[in-house]
Amino acid sequence: MISITDLKSSTAYALGAQQTIDEEGRFLIELYADHAVKVATEILALGIKYLAENAYYSKVEFASVIIPTGLYIVGKLRIDANLPWLYEGTYKGSGRPRK
């Protein structure tokens, strides 16, 4: 289910719901991404640019399909997230810097 959240009234409104039917040779994450792409034009037409999601959707299979639609993904990363661009600038925080 994809919902639109009104932060002022703390309410979510359902935009689209789709039953997930197993398809041979396709992963669930691909089916979920297809559903998000189907409603992406409606989401963008409402002036919404951000798609909030949980850690399950923080996979390249999902992001590589959603990003070309013009939506940004906001969410928690998985523990096994591959972050190839490690910050190497000067340390400005408190405490001991990492080695």
**Residue range 68-80, pLDDT digits in tens:** 999 999 998 888 8
In the block, which residue shows the tokens 């639609």? Answer: 69
**Gap between the Cα atoms of 95 and 98, Å rounded:** 9
Q: Is 92 exposed, middle or buried (0-12, 13-18, 19+ CB in 10 A)?
A: exposed
**Gap between the Cα atoms of 8 and 70, Å rounded:** 24
Higher pLDDT, 33 or 83: 33
pLDDT of 91 above 80: no
In the block, which residue shows the tokens 């992963």? Answer: 27
